[in-house]
Structure 1
Amino acid sequence: MLATEITSLLTDKKKLLAEVYFELQAYFESKYGKDTVIFMEIGTFFEVYEVNNEELQIGKAKEMAELLNIQLTKKNKSIVENSVKNPLLAGVPAVSFERYLARLIQEKKYTAIVIRQKGVPPKLSRYVSQIISPGTNFDYMTDNEENYIASLIIDQHKEIYSVGYSAIDVTTGKTWLYEAHGTSEDQSFALDEIFNLLNVHKTSEVVITFLEGVKNQKEVLRYLEIADRFHFSVNNERHKIAYQNELFQNVYNIQSLLSPIEHLDLERSPMISEALAILVHFVIEHDYHIIQKLYRPQLIDNKRYMYLGNNALEQLGIISKDRDEMTLFKLMDKSCTAIGKRLLKERLLNPLLESEELTRRYNLIDKVNSHTRTLDETLRGIYDLERLARRISLGRLHPFEMNYVYESLTGVQALMNYIKKHKIQKSPFSEQEISEFIRDIQKSV
């Protein structure tokens, strides 16, 4: 269903709103999976409908009523029958809708379709304003962890699997790419590699594209533990090279004599290129704005890091699917900033093999050891600048968050001065730029 068809359906005066609702519910469920729920603004409420009779079962009114602790009723409670014309209904006031929506998104389970109304009767119309899923959650993050949405394109030839992988964290703008191929000796090697990446880069949502060679899709889903661990959907669309180039040029703002695919060094990696295109297209369908100003995609270089096969990260107790289980990461994590927490996890899950870089880090640890108390106190005043900077670049910063930016930058400035005074390390930041930014904030408040 095209966007124009959705608009046409929402403006169809010949159909009841409930009929329109269930047509859209069926469409979005087929596209994004069974954990899809539509919130439609009707008057001063956002409503969720459901039909549950012998002939038809569709909608999530009862499930939303239980989850959000709101009353379940019927469109017309004086009629016993539950049907499309008289569906079950759960609604929340429009004035407090954002609070309920945030509660739903924190479940990391649902794709929420928000349909808003504009105008006044009789010239009232409705439109799809937001599609929010666990991996495209930009405004409702409550923890400091990474939040990647991954795209997998999977093929199989003579029992040997090949996988193209791309992953984007829309809250930080980071993108990772990888391609893996099995061998005659280890036919599932590519799947093992991807299983590991889904652990290393904390993933909340997966979009999977199966190519014609895959004989048993359910077996692949079981092997990767997709259904048990992630919100996921199966994609059936393929994107031609011309469209991939167009997407990459727009999203990564590529101005080059080379084609965008060549500019990103993906001309020899067609599975990665298509996996990335599918992912970018998927995010654009949810929210075009959050896909803008991404960092250049990074190809994962396995030569730099130790190979961790057979789910070694969990078997060694470094991380765990069980949130309550004590792990090595939890034991080691004394980070006082969100950025530090993510960096620690990234380094712990990707053991480095480069001796020069390891030596540099060891030397830096020796220099910092005697200054940890002072540095710790300063760092505690620094908020999640990585995500705040992303919100600024997209024009999505809330006014109250400007104070977080100001306090963080003054903390960074103090940190830079201390490091410079004690000759710990050369600062990677421009002192002048940070000072100017702080002055600009002071002038505007």
Structure 2
Amino acid sequence: MAQYTPMMQQYLKIKAEQKDAFLFFRLGDFYEMFFEDATKASQELEITLTSRDGGSNDRIPMCGVPYHSAENYIKQLVEKGYKVAICEQVEDPKSAKGVVKREVVQLITPGTVMEGSMLDEKENNFLASLSAFEDGTFAVSYNDLSTGENSVALITGGFDAALGELYSRPVKEVVVSSEFNEEHQEMLKERLGYTVSFEDETEVDEAFKSLVEDVHQEKLLVGFGRLLQYIQRTQKRTLDHLQPVKVVELKQYMTLDMYSKRNLELVETLRKGGKSGSLLSVIDKTITSMGARMLKKWMERPLLTPSAIKTRHEQVEGFLDQFMERETLRDQLTSVYDLERLAGRVAYGNVNARDLIQLRNSLRKIPEILTTLKQFQHPSIHELYEKIDPLQEVKELLETSIADDPPMTIKEGGLIQDGFNDQLDEYRDASRNGKQWIAGLEQKERQATGIKSLKIGYNRVFGYYIEVTKANLRYLPEGTYERKQTLTNAERFITPELKEKESIILEAQEKSVDLEYQLFLEVRDQVKAYVQQLQHLADQISRIDVLQGFAQVAESNSYVRPTYDTDRIIDIKQGRHPVVEQVLKGETFVPNDIYMNEETDVLLITGPNMSGKSTYMRQLALTAIMGQMGCFVPCEEASLPIFDQIFTRIGAADDLVSGQSTFMVEMLEANHALSHATENSMILLDEIGRGTSTYDGMALAQAIVEHIHEHIRAKTLFSTHYHELTSLEEDLKRLKNVHVRAEEYEGNVVFLHQIKDGPADESYGIHVAKLADLPVTLIDRATSLLEHLENNNAKTEVAASLSDEEQLSLFVEEPKTEKKEAPSGENELEKHLESLNLLEMTPMDAMNELYQLQKRIKS
């Protein structure tokens, strides 16, 4: 290091401790970056890369951002998965002997963000830790630093189950030990897109022992200890807002693996990846951001306990029954800010005066909300009312202390109201009177000198001054004015009288600002003592918000309260898909019944593509999830069992990360369902076996159906284009055939989207191709091929009962008539089409092949 200047040596020493982070090194009014940090940051942030002399022979790459606008730059880096170490000057440069002392005061990572502008207000920002044990179990711990929420869970289903658990939560960063499996690390990074950090310490600090009083499993303590150590190491401050750890017993909640969450599009869509078009977008009628976060948690973990489900449904019913009171409540909730994150900022120490004004305004609304809740008749709403503490003492403190329109910063004054502190009032009086005296002096001097343009001004460097233009200097009396500063067109002066008053005014202003800052810290600390009560209040308001939102969506969309029994009977009258019915433009959604009694475990669904098989399957799963999370459901009547798990294989997609084909992904997902499902589970399988040859696929599909029927007995919806499987109804007593109705009309297929008993009589694949506007000649040729293949198939079936000579005569082809020579291009296409064995393909593959042919014809 000897070749570098002392300041650069200091930088390099600190940077060596922050190797995996951008080091924002404070120099005056800028955060500077050097060497590789500078080069990379200039690219990521699109800022100018410069250089400076650091004492070595070569100039050092450098770039920087103003400290007052650094938050936006930090946000950009963190959103890209980077970490940022904030290195501040921790001593006054005026009193420093040599290089100013600097230290890293905070490490900002994707999972430890606290600033509101960097957070999604409707989503948690979880930091997670994942700990692996020799018996194959995993401990998962969660912390949302912005709210103080902590939870832990033990995963027994291996790494895939741990991945599924993480996938279900809005996790931004995962902490593991340095010895954690490298292949698993890569999967966390590449497959789920997490920032992976390392921490080997696993002891829970004595100061936080109270957080883990309810945690009795050593594995969970190890997992949370790792998480807590990482937070302490990166945040470098007290964490008084951390809530007691909640042990999540996963057996109390419906299990939804990451395949099912993705396929059912619960919180985001498969195509666009956004919220629009998801189940969440339809049922989210919350008003507050903390309510929106709670709704998502409920969706991630639907309930299994009948009494808990019943309680939520009764509360929704209570809100649904009284429209006017519910509308009043919704209006009141619009004035409630994010109490949960405000409490976190108070405890964390980064709250400002405007945050406290938001807290005050929110607390002002709580008495009104209580009055409205009291007007509801249902006993379950009264229970919500009784759990709310309005925290009147906190509201009164903020009413009397914080100014109504305070500045963003907390060190420039203007934070505290008049009348809150006597000493502050005295300083302010001196300052205000002094300024009035200054205004009076200006008028007096103008009259005495006759200089109308004379003015008294102030700046931080020179203090107060009298400014006179050079053209008017001759009018000044001699000996009274002392020259202070010379400008191009004017001179600035001071008088003994002004100098004396300046001292009084500036001293009062300085002391006033310092005192205000101290008073603000005292108020903040007083509020901090109520953080746990504020968190409890936030939880209750969030719950009320979610439940009234459920009532709102039930009324708007005609949802009904489901009933539950233990007879494993599904009886849904006129069921609808909650999302599809909202996005149909100018069309009416066709509802369908779903009935599966104790004697029916498998519905085998046949019918053409685009007819609604997948919609029918998905709407059953979504109805079950909605009901068990506490929401009413889209139908006229619903009686359901409580499902412990839902497994889906719907849609086709390659797993590019792990290099697995569509068919391999299909088999892996099917295996996951078959390995973990119970008789209380739901399984949805769509077109299993289509990624291989017809006979392979058909054999696999039949074997899977038989395995579920004989060994699992889960309620299963199995859609297929293998019509041969419909004969299974004769051998499998708990399997029932249903089909999606379609009709031919004037040579075209009309999809009626109605589910009827029995198997489908046709596939209508060529009709679907016709709807896709493939060339007429191609459609005709496909029809001819289909007739030929079906005819040969019929001949084969007849031949089994005939003699050799009779069999041979069946397959002797008629003499071909001579055809005119077609253009070369048409010959080429016709030969290609003849070479295709369309019936050996899945319908989707055949469609794709015909579509490619269409493109070639058009070109």
Per the alignment, in what secondary structure is the counterpart of residue 28 of structure 1? coil
Counterpart for residue 354 of structure 2: 400
Per the alignment, in what secondary structure is the counterpart of residue 166 of structure 2? helix
* C-alpha distance in structure 1 between counterparts of 2:62 and 2:339, whole Å: 42
Per the alignment, in what secondary structure is the counterpart of residue 276 of structure 1? helix
- Aligned residues of 1:109 and 1:134 also touching (Cα < 8 A): yes
Q: Find 2:88's aligned residue among 116, 120, 125.
A: 116
Counterpart for residue 128 of structure 2: 150
Per the alignment, in what secondary structure is the counterpart of residue 229 of structure 1? coil
Counterpart for residue 55 of structure 1: none
Q: Tell me the amino acid that sits aligned with residue 441 of structure 1.
A: L
Q: Find 1:423's aligned residue among 377, 396, 421.
A: 377
Counterpart for residue 444 of structure 1: 401
Counterpart for residue 170 of structure 1: 145
Instruction: Output the aligned Cα RMSD.
Output: 2.9
* C-alpha distance in structure 2 between counterparts of 1:27 and 1:289, whole Å: 18
Percent identity between matched residues is 22
1:138 equivalenced with 2:114 (yes/no): yes
Counterpart for residue 234 of structure 2: 286
* C-alpha distance in structure 2 between counterparts of 1:125 and 1:318, whole Å: 51
- Aligned residues of 2:114 and 2:146 also touching (Cα < 8 A): yes
* C-alpha distance in structure 2 between counterparts of 1:417 and 1:228, whole Å: 46
Q: Residues 228, 368 of structure 1: CA spacing in aligned structure 2 closer, same or farther, 3 A cutoff?
A: closer
Q: Residues 412, 194 of structure 1: CA spacing in aligned structure 2 closer, same or farther, 3 A cutoff?
A: farther
Kindly provide the CA deviation profile for residues 149-206 of structure 1, in whole angstroms up to 9, marking residues without a partner as x.
011112345xxx321111111111111111223xxxxxxx232332222233311111
Counterpart for residue 198 of structure 2: 234
What displacement does 1:310 show?
5.1
Q: Tell me the amino acid that sits aligned with residue 116 of structure 1.
A: E
Q: Find 1:205's aligned residue among 164, 167, 173.
A: 173
Q: Residues 22, 289 of structure 1: CA spacing in aligned structure 2 closer, same or farther, 3 A cutoff?
A: closer
- Aligned residues of 1:18 and 1:85 also touching (Cα < 8 A): no
Per the alignment, in what secondary structure is the counterpart of residue 92 of structure 1? strand
Counterpart for residue 339 of structure 1: 290
Kindly provide the CA deviation profile for residues 291-311 of structure 1, in whole angstroms up to 9, marking residues without a partner as x.
333111011112211122353
* C-alpha distance in structure 2 between counterparts of 1:283 and 1:37, whole Å: 18
Instruction: Give the length in aligned residue pairs.
Output: 386
* C-alpha distance in structure 1 between counterparts of 2:281 and 2:57, whole Å: 50
* C-alpha distance in structure 2 between counterparts of 1:283 and 1:294, whole Å: 11
What displacement does 1:15 show?
5.5
- Aligned residues of 1:65 and 1:72 also touching (Cα < 8 A): yes
1:48 equivalenced with 2:12 (yes/no): no
Q: Residues 231, 290 of structure 1: CA spacing in aligned structure 2 closer, same or farther, 3 A cutoff?
A: farther
1:348 equivalenced with 2:299 (yes/no): yes
Q: Find 1:129's aligned residue among 105, 109, 114.
A: 105
Q: Find 2:50's aligned residue among 73, 77, 82.
A: 73
Q: Aligned runs of 1:243-392 on 2, under 5 Å?
A: 244-245=203-204, 247=205, 249-252=206-209, 254=210, 263-266=213-216, 269-289=217-237, 291-309=239-257, 311-320=259-268, 322-323=273-274, 326-369=277-320, 370=323, 371-392=325-346
Counterpart for residue 8 of structure 2: 18
* C-alpha distance in structure 1 between counterparts of 2:18 and 2:57, whole Å: 17
Q: Which has the higher contact order (CA 8 A, sep 6+)?
A: 1
* C-alpha distance in structure 2 between counterparts of 1:330 and 1:179, whole Å: 31
* C-alpha distance in structure 2 between counterparts of 1:365 and 1:72, whole Å: 58
- Aligned residues of 1:108 and 1:231 also touching (Cα < 8 A): no
TM-score normalised to the size of structure 1? 0.78
* C-alpha distance in structure 1 between counterparts of 2:44 and 2:170, whole Å: 25
Q: Residues 316, 439 of structure 1: CA spacing in aligned structure 2 closer, same or farther, 3 A cutoff?
A: same
Counterpart for residue 708 of structure 2: none
- Aligned residues of 2:241 and 2:343 also touching (Cα < 8 A): no
Q: Residues 342, 428 of structure 1: CA spacing in aligned structure 2 closer, same or farther, 3 A cutoff?
A: farther
Q: Residues 152, 142 of structure 1: CA spacing in aligned structure 2 closer, same or farther, 3 A cutoff?
A: closer
Kindly provide the CA deviation profile for residues 110-150 of structure 1, in whole angstroms up to 9, marking residues without a partner as x.
11111112322544211112211111111344421101101
Q: Tell me the amino acid that sits aligned with residue 339 of structure 1.
A: M
Query: Could you say which structure has the larger radius of gyration?
Result: 2
* C-alpha distance in structure 2 between counterparts of 1:84 and 1:155, whole Å: 52
State which drifts further: 276-285 or 288-297. Answer: 288-297
Counterpart for residue 3 of structure 1: none
* C-alpha distance in structure 1 between counterparts of 2:349 and 2:37, whole Å: 33
Instruction: Specify every segment of 5 or more residues in structure 2 that has no aligned partner in the other structure, as ranges.
Output: 403-859
* C-alpha distance in structure 1 between counterparts of 2:22 and 2:16, whole Å: 10
What displacement does 1:418 show?
0.4
Q: Residues 361, 26 of structure 1: CA spacing in aligned structure 2 closer, same or farther, 3 A cutoff?
A: same
* C-alpha distance in structure 2 between counterparts of 1:396 and 1:347, whole Å: 30
TM-score normalised to the size of structure 2? 0.42
* C-alpha distance in structure 2 between counterparts of 1:277 and 1:337, whole Å: 32
Kindly provide the CA deviation profile for residues 315-367 of structure 1, in whole angstroms up to 9, marking residues without a partner as x.
21113483366321123222210111011101111111111111111111111
Per the alignment, in what secondary structure is the counterpart of residue 192 of structure 1? helix
Q: Residues 103, 398 of structure 1: CA spacing in aligned structure 2 closer, same or farther, 3 A cutoff?
A: farther
What displacement does 1:378 show?
1.2
Q: Residues 42, 85 of structure 1: CA spacing in aligned structure 2 closer, same or farther, 3 A cutoff?
A: farther
Kindly provide the CA deviation profile for residues 382-420 of structure 1, in whole angstroms up to 9, marking residues without a partner as x.
111111122233443210111211221122221111011
- Aligned residues of 2:215 and 2:247 also touching (Cα < 8 A): no
State which drifts further: 372-381 or 165-174. Answer: 372-381
- Aligned residues of 2:30 and 2:67 also touching (Cα < 8 A): yes
Counterpart for residue 752 of structure 2: none
What displacement does 1:14 show?
7.5
Q: Tell me the amino acid that sits aligned with residue 343 of structure 1.
A: M
* C-alpha distance in structure 2 between counterparts of 1:436 and 1:378, whole Å: 21
- Aligned residues of 1:39 and 1:48 also touching (Cα < 8 A): yes
Q: Residues 387, 324 of structure 1: CA spacing in aligned structure 2 closer, same or farther, 3 A cutoff?
A: closer
Q: Residues 164, 93 of structure 1: CA spacing in aligned structure 2 closer, same or farther, 3 A cutoff?
A: same
* C-alpha distance in structure 2 between counterparts of 1:24 and 1:84, whole Å: 22
Kindly provide the CA deviation profile for residues 234-268 of structure 1, in whole angstroms up to 9, marking residues without a partner as x.
33x244xxxx25x1x3025x3xxxxx86x3332xx
Per the alignment, in what secondary structure is the counterpart of residue 147 of structure 2? coil
